[in-house]
């Protein structure tokens, strides 16, 4: 019997629509609404780079072999629904931007030129000088109408397609591509004498001054275009020098086949067809847009000085964890009791201290850590470098296949390797997504172990706006199993070669995670069937794995109360008999919800886990993920309270959690 499932791509698009709705919310500060427009655009770019290639590929297969469709395969109708959904959302985007955001800016004297309008005279004088001194030198016109000219548009780069004619032969039409330089600021601003703050797009600065670029020509029209290329490069089967192969793959990514040709909807059909043929773009890859593309750049919209603070969210001040701050030595404190951080509501300092203390403590001899997305200016990576130079045995598993962070991870890998850090690279066919660190200190003839397990990356940049939890523990069972995990990772073997590894505390994907999650839900089902209280509460980013969705349906039908907080993809269908006892909450707010928490009622003896794993096929079947039990009763209650606040009021949850964390510390 088929399991009712919602299409993952349509679900993701509904999440991105929720982001767009934040831009329309008048209760959100104005410049934060503009940032949500930026996030929406950035998300959509990634969708076309990562998901659309798979949808198009499957659609092409089904055109030739309709029987090849699997139970979860997108159909040709799905592709059309995806494209129609995107078009509707982009139209809504335009209505929000032009009908709500621009008028709101104007009410505060911020005049963002949007459309073919004449710039303010003072801005015109300034932009002419700016064009002649800074912009013109960066322009590289390509005459597309000259067939012998070969040109390969860069991924997600902006171009103006300019139609023009020689003044001496006005009947001849030429087509020229002009780059909009990515190295220059997208917006120019000026405080004018009329006491208004004028902002212009770089695109329009170039448009207005095209006659300086094409002397002796009549300029007819100009239209903005952008080509998005496939970024889903298969790095899973790398067998040789992983570092070298990933570097090669990154370069190839920018040469991927087109997945979206975004054009100004005002562009004539004849010109559109010419460009599609010239750049080898299929009809279903042509996407109409507005006058401006790459509106993710709105995140950099200039903010005039002296504007009211209400334009932005009030500055959040993460609270200090009192016990960690009072401790002279954090590693000693961890030996006495477990600690739990709730980010970004609490300061990230204890995580940085964990690594920096380990780097200089004379009794620390070994440090192990998994790094998935390393901050560009990582203090953690620097601490690991110092530790290695201080004579400690430092072992770091760096996931080189962390999408779009590969280059930064490679850069830090080379620095750490030069310092003497033992680097372990990606396992072929598998990603390591676990967020774990282990420090071993010698105490005479014995060792003490300090473990660190998080729901998010060891990344001090994202720790400011990702909601995550970080557990510090010296629990003997947990830390010994962490050591086993690191011994396995150093082998770089497939999990089946280490099937003998036994994890009793940790849940480790590829070993026992799927089995244990299933068993704990089955236990709730058994309790419900016996007339006992039965409840499952899960907070994750994505829910897509078919077997786990089926198990949640089974639990619901058995009488188990199921509460889900799912930020993004959710393939579980609500409003059907199978999900009558399932409640789903989605939270989109100031911070990016990122934590994964799993709570099983167990007839009043609740079990609480936190960790790195979403319930996606990739997480449960093709990654190394780790979830850890939270045994300390007070810390366990904190996680339960926080998830309860999210379930009670998804819209105001983050503010409520901010207050809650301030009170508990």
Residue ranges at the known binding site: 43, 373, 403, 466, 567, 594
Distance CA 545, CA 550 (A): 9
Tokens of 315: 């500055």
Tokens of 39: 């996030």
Residue ranges for the known binding site for ATP are: 43, 466, 567, 594
- Residue (of 173, 153, 152) closest to 162 by Cα position: 173
Angle between the 513-529 and 546-558 helix axes, to the nearest 10 degrees? 10
Angle between the 349-360 and 379-389 helix axes, to the nearest 10 degrees? 10
- Residue (of 286, 299, 291) closest to 87 by Cα position: 286
Measured in degrees and rounded to the nearest 5, phi and psi for residue 320 equal -85, 135
Count how many Cα atoms sit within 13 Å of the Cα of residue 298 in the half-sphere of its side chain.
Answer: 25
Distance CA 130, CA 135 (A): 7
Per the CB < 8 A criterion, the answer to whether 279 and 261 are in contact is: yes
Sheet holding 110-112: strands in order across? 110-112, 197-201, 187-191
In order of 95, 614, 663, the CA distances from 137 in angstroms are 35, 48, 57
Give the other-Cβ count within 10 Å of 239's Cβ.
Answer: 8
- Residue (of 73, 9, 74) closest to 43 by Cα position: 9
Measured in degrees and rounded to the nearest 5, phi and psi for residue 429 equal 80, 5
CA 19 and chain centroid, separation = 13
Distance CA 38, CA 405 (A): 20
Check residue 149 and give left, alpha or beta (phi > 0: left; psi -120 to 50: alpha): beta
**Catalytic one among 120, 198, 342, 433?**
433
Give the residues across from 225 on adjacent strands: 159, 263
In order of 50, 565, 637, 648, the CA distances from 583 in angstroms are 30, 8, 21, 11
Measured in degrees and rounded to the nearest 5, phi and psi for residue 155 equal -60, 130
Distance CA 333, CA 452 (A): 13
Residue ranges for the known binding site for Mg(2+) are: 373, 403
What is the sign of the dihedral through the CA atoms of 470, 475, 477 and 479? positive
SS3 173: coil
Based on the residue annotation, tell me whether 433 is a catalytic residue of this protein: yes
- Cis amide leading into 344 (omega within 30): yes
Give the residues across from 187 on adjacent strands: 201
SS3 358: helix
- What does the buried/exposed string (b/e) look like for 621-635 if buried means 16 or more CB atoms within 10 Å of the residue's CB? eebbbbbbbbbbeeb
Q: How many residues does the chain have?
A: 665
In order of 43, 81, 365, the CA distances from 393 in angstroms are 40, 54, 6
Check residue 416 and give left, alpha or beta (phi > 0: left; psi -120 to 50: alpha): alpha
- Residue (of 462, 630, 650) closest to 566 by Cα position: 650
Per the CB < 8 A criterion, the answer to whether 436 and 452 are in contact is: yes
Tokens of 203: 């695109």
Contact residues for 392 (Cβ-Cβ < 8 A; gap 6+): 358, 359, 364, 365, 366, 367
DSSP one-letter code for 134: I
Catalytic sites, residue numbers: 433
């Amino acid at each position: 019997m088929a399991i009712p499932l919602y299409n993952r791509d349509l679900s993701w698009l509904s999440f991105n629509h929720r982001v767009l709705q934040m831009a329309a919310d008048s209760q959100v500060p104005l410049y934060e609404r503009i940032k949500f427009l930026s996030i929406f655009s950035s998300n959509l770019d990634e969708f076309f780079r990562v998901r659309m290639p798979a949808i198009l590929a499957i659609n092409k297969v089904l055109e030739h072999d309709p029987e090849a469709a699997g139970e979860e395969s997108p159909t040709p109708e799905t592709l059309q629904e995806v494209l129609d959904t995107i078009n509707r959302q982009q139209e809504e985007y335009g209505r929000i931007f032009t009908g709500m955001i621009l008028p709101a800016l104007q009410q505060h004297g911020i005049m963002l030129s949007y459309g073919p309008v004449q710039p303010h005279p003072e801005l015109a004088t300034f932009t002419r000088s700016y064009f002649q001194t800074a912009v013109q030198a960066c322009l590289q016109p390509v005459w597309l109408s000259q067939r012998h000219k070969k040109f390969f548009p860069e991924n997600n780069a902006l171009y103006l397609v300019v139609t023009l004619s020689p003044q001496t032969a006005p009947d001849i039409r030429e087509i020229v591509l002009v780059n909009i330089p990515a190295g220059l600021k997208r917006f120019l601003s000026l405080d004018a004498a009329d006491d208004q703050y004028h902002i212009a797009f770089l695109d329009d600065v170039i448009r207005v001054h095209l006659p300086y670029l094409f002397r002796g020509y009549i300029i007819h029209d100009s239209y903005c275009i952008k080509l998005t290329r496939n970024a889903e490069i298969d790095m899973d089967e790398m067998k040789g020098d992983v570092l070298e192969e990933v570097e090669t793959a990154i370069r190839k990514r920018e040469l991927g086949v087109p997945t979206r040709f975004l054009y100004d909807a005002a562009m004539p059909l004849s010109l559109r067809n010419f460009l599609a043929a010239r750049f080898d773009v299929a009809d279903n890859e042509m996407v109409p847009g507005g006058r401006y593309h790459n509106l993710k750049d709105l995140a950099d919209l200039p903010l005039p000085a002296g504007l009211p603070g209400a334009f932005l969210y009030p500055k959040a001040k993460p609270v200090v964890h009192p016990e960690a701050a009072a401790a002279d030595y954090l590693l000693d404190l961890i030996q006495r009791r477990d600690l739990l951080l709730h980010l970004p509501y609490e300061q990230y300092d204890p995580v940085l201290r964990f690594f920096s203390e380990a780097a200089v403590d004379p009794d620390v001899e070994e440090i192990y850590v998994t790094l998935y997305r390393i901050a560009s200016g990582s203090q953690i990576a620097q601490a690991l470098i110092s530790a290695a130079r201080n004579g400690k045995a430092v072992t770091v598993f760096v996931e080189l296949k962390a999408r779009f962070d590969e280059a930064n991870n490679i850069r830090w890998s080379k620095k750490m390797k030069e310092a003497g850090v033992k680097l372990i690279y990606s396992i072929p066919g598998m990603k390591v997504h676990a967020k774990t660190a282990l420090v071993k200190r010698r105490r005479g003839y014995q060792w003490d172990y300090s473990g660190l397990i998080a729901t998010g990356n060891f990344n001090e940049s994202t720790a400011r706006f990702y909601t995550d939890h970080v557990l510090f523990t010296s629990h003997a069972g947990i830390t010994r199993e962490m050591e086993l995990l690191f011994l396995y990772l150093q082998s770089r073997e497939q999990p089946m070669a280490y099937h003998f590894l036994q994890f009793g505390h940790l849940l480790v994907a590829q070993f026992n995670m799927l089995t244990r999650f299933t068993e704990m839900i089955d236990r709730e089902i058994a309790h419900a069937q016996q007339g006992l209280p039965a409840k499952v509460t899960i907070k994750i980013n994505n829910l897509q794995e078919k077997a786990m969705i089926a198990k949640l349906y089974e639990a619901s039908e058995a009488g188990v109360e199921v509460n889900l907080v799912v930020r993004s993809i959710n393939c579980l269908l609500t409003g059907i008999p199978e999900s009558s006892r399932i409640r789903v909450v989605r939270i989109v707010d100031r911070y990016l919800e990122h934590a994964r928490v799993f709570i099983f009622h167990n007839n009043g003896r609740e079990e609480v886990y936190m960790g790195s794993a979403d319930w996606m096929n990739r997480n449960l079947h093709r990654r190394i993920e780790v979830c850890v039990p939270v045994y300390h009763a007070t810390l366990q209650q904190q996680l339960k309270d926080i998830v309860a606040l999210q379930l009670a009021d998804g819209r105001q949850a983050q503010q409520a959690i901010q207050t809650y964390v301030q009170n508990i510390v």
